């Protein structure tokens, strides 16, 4: 997540995000692409079952992947707001 924060900061310095709506659109796009890739690759290439795939989303079981996805979705807005 720290690496993503650094990358978001670099992108913000290079191509500033105009407003909150744009930041959330960017985060939503990154989230959608990440989840689509994850499910497609792990289902078709790794041949994991749906149960195995969804197990990575259980915070109660100690899985942190949902936190990474949340950071992908909201990180651009956080970095944009801190850059003002």
* Domain around 59: 2-10+20-82
77, 23 Cβ separation under 8 angstroms: yes
Q: What is the pLDDT of residues 7-52, one digit of tens each?
A: 999 999 999 999 999 999 999 999 999 999 999 999 999 999 999 9
Number of domains in the chain: 1
Q: What's this model's pTM, rounded to 2 decimal places?
A: 0.87
- Whether residue 55 lies inside any domain: the answer is yes
Using the Cα atoms of residue 39, residue 73, residue 8 and residue 24 in order, give the sign of their dihedral: positive
Closest by CA to 80, choosing from 17, 27, 26, 6, is 17
Residue 84, pLDDT above cutoff 90: no
Contact residues for 56 (Cβ-Cβ < 8 A; gap 6+): 63, 65
- Whether residue 73 lies inside any domain: the answer is yes
- Whether residue 56 lies inside any domain: the answer is yes
- Whether residue 70 lies inside any domain: the answer is yes
- Whether residue 15 lies inside any domain: the answer is no
């Amino acid at each position: 997540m720290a690496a993503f924060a650094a990358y978001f900061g670099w992108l913000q310095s290079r191509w500033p995000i105009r407003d909150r709506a744009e930041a959330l659109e960017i985060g939503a796009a990154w989230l959608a692409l990440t989840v689509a890739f994850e499910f497609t690759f792990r289902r078709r290439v790794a041949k994991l079952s749906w149960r195995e795939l969804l197990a990575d989303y259980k915070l109660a079981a100690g899985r942190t992947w949902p936190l990474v996805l949340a950071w992908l979705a909201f990180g651009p807005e956080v970095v944009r707001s801190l850059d003002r």
